[in-house]
Structure 1
């Protein structure tokens, strides 16, 4: 008589014998964009006592089909000039921007994004660009941000996703991360056949 494993045991059995793939991803954006809050919520950590990242932190963000090891870099003026020192080994990029930021901050975010898209260690990697704080009444639309950031000409030929995000819709954020994982999977070499 065949007795199927309970669902939870199936998952444990599968993970034990077939470990989830892991991808190293760098997460950048200006201070206040919401990088730390989004990552903390994805890890089901307390989001009420978030403090800005003053250097870098690493979080293992688990999904059902992969684990993203996200290296989050602080976005303060005096830290951004050192971002490129932490790019090595990255397999993907998450760029978070504040959809309600001032014109000046949005321009700085645009320049930083362009710099990252053109950096030799990042230019061939998949990008997830999150337009955060979409729940705010004065948030710029995704189309406005796409046009302002001049993504079409700059990112032509690259693999990128632009999505809205908000702490109040973490399921949509998860979906954006799953799309990034799909891009990461597509870039991995196919194992040779024996």
Structure 2
């Protein structure tokens, strides 16, 4: 009796973790979102001086889960030039914005477009998390989407915006499921274009 393994269906991705980088302006809630996903509870965090890295398992439906290796990179102005070194060869980008800070959304728009259009990031799926939707003065997801100029990223950059809250966990599961779908779609397109060569 040998060990017989059933062949893995071609549609299932390999079981390795997907590499995802979380960026955004300082105080947007990136680290709080990371630890909300990791520990399933709100963790009040201090500003990130470099980066945090965690492996996070996200359930997909009732029987499967996907593992994301998440890099959370500090958002202070002096750290933003370093984002590119973390996003090189990433599977997906998560850009976090504070929905309750309307006055910083123009600055966030500039940084989002800069990182999404960087040469190494062409075509990388972008999930925008409109955090702090539970705050009294939070803008709606549609308002945040418009102010960030998400449609200006173009069709070559798949993107999705999801309202969420690091405090309650609202919207995080749906956002990551959407990111996973965008990553799978991109991998499929890349595989088929390699076959045609």
Q: State TM-score, norm by structure 1.
A: 0.81
Count of residues in Structure 1 that have an aligned counterpart in Structure 2: 174
- Give 5+ residue unaligned stretches, structure 1: 1-17
Counterpart of 2:79 in structure 1 is 79
Q: State TM-score, norm by structure 2.
A: 0.80
- Aligned equivalents of 2:14, 2:86: Cα separation in 1: 26
- Aligned equivalents of 1:165, 1:109: Cα separation in 2: 17
Residue 19 of structure 1: how far off its partner (Å): 7.4
- Aligned equivalents of 2:101, 2:44: Cα separation in 1: 22
- Give 5+ residue unaligned stretches, structure 2: 1-12, 60-64
Counterpart of 1:161 in structure 2 is 160
Find out whether 1:59 has 2:58 as its counterpart.
no
Secondary structure of the residue aligned to 2:121 is: coil
**Partners of 2:164 and 2:170 within 8 A in 1:** no
**Partners of 2:97 and 2:108 within 8 A in 1:** yes
**Partners of 2:96 and 2:130 within 8 A in 1:** yes
Residue 137 of structure 1: how far off its partner (Å): 1.4
Counterpart of 2:171 in structure 1 is 172
Residue 167 of structure 1: how far off its partner (Å): 2.5
**Partners of 1:117 and 1:155 within 8 A in 2:** no
Secondary structure of the residue aligned to 1:111 is: helix
Find out whether 1:20 has 2:20 as its counterpart.
no
Provide the alpha-carbon RMSD of the alignment.
2.1
Output one character per residue of 1:8-38: Cα deviation in whole Å (capped at 9) or x when no partner.
xxxxxxxxxx973411011100111001001
Output one character per residue of 1:64-89: Cα deviation in whole Å (capped at 9) or x when no partner.
33111011110011111221122222
Counterpart of 1:115 in structure 2 is 114
- Aligned equivalents of 1:151, 1:90: Cα separation in 2: 20
**Partners of 1:92 and 1:122 within 8 A in 2:** no
Output one character per residue of 1:49-71: Cα deviation in whole Å (capped at 9) or x when no partner.
41221111111111233111011
Cα distance change, pair 77–180 in 1 and its aligned pair in 2 (3 A):
same
